[in-house]
Amino acid sequence: MTTLEQSAVADLVRSTLSAHKSLFLATSGSTGPWVGGVYFAESGEFTLNLVLEDRGRTLAAIRENPVVSVVVSTGSPMQPFLQAQALAEVVGAEGGARVRELLVAKVPEAAPFLDAPVTAVELTVRKWRATDIANGLIPGVELPGPRLP
């Protein structure tokens, strides 16, 4: 498939996001690169909400370098998957309450994590790269996000 309408790519992004409760989050700080799995809830195609351990390596790296990468995938390249670079922002108490609500609504099993010392984070995706090998979408196609300042 050489061309694909943006609306079809947006549909693939939305359906892949809704089909997954967790993603792989890559960060890089003074202790080096790190990848971890986290629960997330999307609020639109380009905003991902999650919580991270207060004293964890991932949050420390985000505080040093807010540019992160994400992969939304089953781990199998034969299933549709998404890749992106995003800007991570630690959200305050009011925004944190909203992130927690969104997260528990999508991923009820994440509720016990909210009792631990965690911090809410919002990821703003710059553009998605969507791949669906089984349906001929290789190489992946991009869905640009809103312009960031």
pLDDT in tens, 61-86: 999 999 999 999 999 989 999 999 99
Residue 149, burial from CB neighbour count under 10 angstroms (0-12, 13-18, 19+): exposed
Q: How many domains does the chain have?
A: 1
Residue 58 within a domain: yes
How does strand 81-90 pair with strand 118-132? antiparallel
Dihedral angle at the C-alpha atoms of 14, 16, 18, 24, nearest 10 degrees? Answer: -120
Contact 136, 146 (CB under 8 A): no
In a domain, 123, yes or no: yes
- Look at residues 9, 44, 34 and name the one whose alpha carbon lies nearest to residue 123: 44
pLDDT at 11 > cutoff 50: yes
- Asked whether residue 85 is assigned to any structural domain, the reply reads yes
DSSP H or E stretch at residue 102: helix 93-106
Query: Does residue 30 belong to any structural domain of this protein?
Result: yes
Q: Is 77 among the domain residues? A: yes
Give residue 73's domain range.
Answer: 3-144
- Rounded distance between C-alpha atoms, residue 38 and residue 139, angstroms: 26
Residue 1 pLDDT class (50, 70, 90 cuts): very low
How sure is the predictor about 2, in pLDDT bands with cuts at 50, 70 and 90?
very low
Say if 149 falls within a structural domain.
no
C-alpha 133/C-alpha 76 separation (Å) is 10
CATH of the domain at 126: 2.30.110.10
Closest-CA residue to 122 (of 56, 66, 61, 60): 66
Q: What is the pTM of this model?
A: 0.92
Q: Judge whether 125 lies within some domain.
A: yes
